[in-house]
A and B are shown apart, each in its own frame.
Chain A
Amino acid sequence: MVSKRFIAKRLLLLVPVLFGVATVVFAILHLSPGDPALTIAGERASQAYVEQVRSNLGLDDPLWEQYVRFLRDTAALDFGQSYQVQRGTAVSSILVDRLPITIELAILGQIAGLLFGLPLGILSAVKKDTFTDHFTRIGALAGISVPIYWSGPLLILLFAQIFGILPTSGRISSSYFVDSTTGLILVDTLLEGNLAAFESAARHLLMPVVVLGVYSMAFISRMMRSSMLEVIRMDYMRTARAKGQGAKITVMKHGLRNAFIPVITIIGIQFGSLLGGSVLTETVFEINGIGTLLVSAIERSDYPVVQATVLVFAFMYTLVNLFVDITYSILDPRIEQ
């Protein structure tokens, strides 16, 4: 099973991963032509004022000095204050507000993708080369082809404007006020026992989750189909089929478990695409998560916000993959032996 040493080693590896990511982001920000001092001071500010802003931010120091300072502050978990997006606010408090919003969306999207993608992939593999298989495969290709920023507006048009049964954007109707305990709005409304608010939040989340889920579903069903076909081809499956129906069912179970293993690994590795998809989903549905935060911070050269947001992405990505790896070693029969 999973040894403590394995987990300790992987957690220890977080240090070089985050150091590396921090260094890359720092480098890219300083290679890009955007000038935060000019953005803050405004296009029409005097040269002297821009220089003063630059010097206040420490952006006129040699880059290596800025780098050392940045590493020291980051190691102390001090991400500084936002330059522009929410000027003067501590970046850590912006993240605390916005991060749960994206996590909730990403988790629900992934669950939706798995719920539909896995069965479709298995179905497609078992019924290989039949109409069902072709239909599912074209459906998956269409799911990858239709961009989120079109399927989203389409759903808004249909369900919010023509049928009028779902809200267009945001997270919850403005008539409810919910205290942020966990930041996950479905959990918070339940904690308060406010079922009406919970229903409103769920209705707001439905379309964004579907849009994100379809994208993830398309990917997962393709992977599941490939993996399942590989397992079906294996010898022990053939033998079992020859032995008859009863054995077939037992081995189907075993086969399924074997087919899941590579898919689970890939789910961890493609967690990043889900974050990419949530950037677009949040933009379409006007959800103030970490994705929209990142885009506006990049647009306005808000260095502290970009740095912290990317570090948080990297942190989540690494943790998800650690979690996936633990699941993997539990499922992998070779480890049990």
Chain B
Amino acid sequence: MSTDTSQSSDVERGFLERVRASPFLEELLSNRIAVFGLVLIGGMFAIAIFARLAYDIDTIVDTMFGTNPTKAAPSAEFWFGTDGQARDVFPRVLYGAWYALKFGTATVLASTVLGIAAGILAAYYGDLTDNVIMRTMDVLLSFPSLLLALALVTIFPEELGLWRAVAALTLVYTPRFARVVRGAALKVLEDEYIDATRALGATDPRLLIRHVLPNCLAPITVQSTLNYGLAIIDIAALSFLGFGASPGDPSWGMMLAEGVERGLFSGAWWWSFFPGLFLALTVLGFNLLGDGMRDALDPRMRDTVD
């Protein structure tokens, strides 16, 4: 990232103050596309929390044969129709937002933590350790995320369900964060200010956590936002292929898998259409916001490679 951190005063002031001083938020909020993304994500979070509070997971997973019609088209009673197990699709799609955000958040958080650890280790030890860690990260980064996830997901036992997908994708996304953190950590380590603090007797790990994290908060936030969308889409893809959610789970990937396989060809399009629509809107929201954040953070980057 080319945000200027070479001056010690910047390091001292920390991220939040710089954001307030810089036109970052102003720039971001003036970007109508990014704001649209923000609204989409905000809406999904609201839906997720509403669904979590309003519905009971058991009644959402249970089959409703006898009570509801099977594969009924959308109507006033069943807004998104019913599926092959006679379940009402509408609450399931809403609950899917909770699933997507819950497991997406877990993936992003875990890979951020691992990435911070790897990046700081690499920057701190330098030389061969740095080289081996970062070149390994580069190789992992060059793999298409879905194929790498497909390879890694098999290592974790099936009983983990969706957490299996979370574990595999955490490893897939870690390199992206490691790279960002290492860059920021190197800048801080080079900084004379750190030498001064070190002379005063601050211990090294404390030093790094205290000064590196505030400095790479901005790029980490952008990376997390972009990765959020990717995580949600990849978790759903793994579930769609049969590695993740169990049958009946209200996850968008599983609903799509069941809906495409058993509903689409017999005309029950609503079974897979609505989960997919919500999934696409959520991912689009994160991508629009992430792109806007990157532009606001560093307008020059918009013109070069992502």
Contact = CB atoms under 8 A, between A and B. Distances in A.
Chains A and B in contact, CB within 8 Å? yes
A154 B273 contact: yes
A149 B284 contact: no
A150 B264 contact: no
A307 to B, nearest CB: 12
B273 A153 contact: yes
A283 B260 CA distance: 10
Given A28-B151, A144-B287, A149-B260, A280 B241 contact: yes
B99 interface: no
A229 interface: yes
Interface string B147-186: 1001110111110000000000000000000000000000
B304 A229 contact: yes
B155 A32 contact: yes
Contacts of A161: 267, 269
A15 interface: no
Given A161-B269, A298-B154, A284 B260 contact: yes
A288 interface: no
Given A276-B146, A298-B150, A150 B304 contact: no
Interface stretch (A96-104, A243-251, A267-275): A267-275
Interface stretch (B64-72, B106-114, B232-240): B232-240
B44 interface: no
Given A147-B233, A147-B237, A276-B146, A153 B256 contact: yes
A88 interface: no
B88 interface: no
Interface in A30-75: 31-34
Interface string A140-171: 01101111011011101100010000001100
Q: Is the interface of B mostly helix, strand, loop or mixed?
A: helix
Q: Which of B144, B265, B284 has the most CB of A within 10 A?
A: B144
A279 interface: yes
Interface in B228-276: 229, 233, 236-237, 240-243, 253, 256-257, 259-260, 264-265, 267, 269, 272-273, 276
Nearest to A301: B154
Nearest to B280: A146
Interface residues of A, number: 46
A40 to B, nearest CB: 17
B264 A156 contact: yes
A193 B264 CA distance: 34
Contact of B144 (A32, A141, A230, A272): A272
A142 B147 contact: no
A153 B143 contact: no
B33 interface: yes
A92 interface: no
A130 to B, nearest CB: 14
Given A145-B280, A149-B260, A168-B265, A269 B142 contact: yes
Interface string B120-149: 000000000000000000000011111100
Interface in A251-281: 269-270, 272-273, 275-277, 279-280
A31 B153 CA distance: 11
Contacts of B101: none
Contact of A276 (B144, B243, B284): B144
A201 B146 CA distance: 28
A327 interface: no
Q: Which of A141, A145, A154, A156 has the most CB of B within 10 A?
A: A145
A149 B242 CA distance: 13
Q: Which of A150, A277, A283, A298 has the most CB of B within 10 A?
A: A150
A222 interface: yes
Given A154-B276, A161-B269, A273-B144, A149 B256 contact: yes
A147 B282 CA distance: 11
A190 interface: no
A33 B305 CA distance: 40
A226 B304 contact: yes
A229 B303 contact: yes
A28 B154 contact: yes
Given A147-B236, A272-B144, A153 B306 contact: no
A64 B240 CA distance: 35
B299 to A, nearest CB: 11
A245 B88 CA distance: 64
B291 interface: yes
B284 A142 contact: yes
Nearest to B284: A145
Contacts of B154: 28-29, 32, 34, 298
A150 B280 contact: yes
Nearest to B265: A168
A206 interface: no
A295 interface: yes
B288 interface: yes
A150 B143 contact: no
Contact of A157 (B241, B264, B288): B264
Nearest to B233: A147
14 contacts: A28-B155, A147-B236, A149-B236, A150-B279, A150-B280, A154-B273, A169-B265, A270-B144, A276-B144, A276-B146, A279-B146, A294-B150, A295-B150, A295-B241
Given A146-B283, A276-B150, 19 more contacts: A33-B155, A147-B283, A150-B256, A150-B272, A150-B276, A150-B277, A150-B279, A153-B269, A272-B144, A275-B144, A275-B147, A276-B144, A276-B147, A279-B146, A280-B237, A283-B240, A284-B260, A294-B150, A298-B154
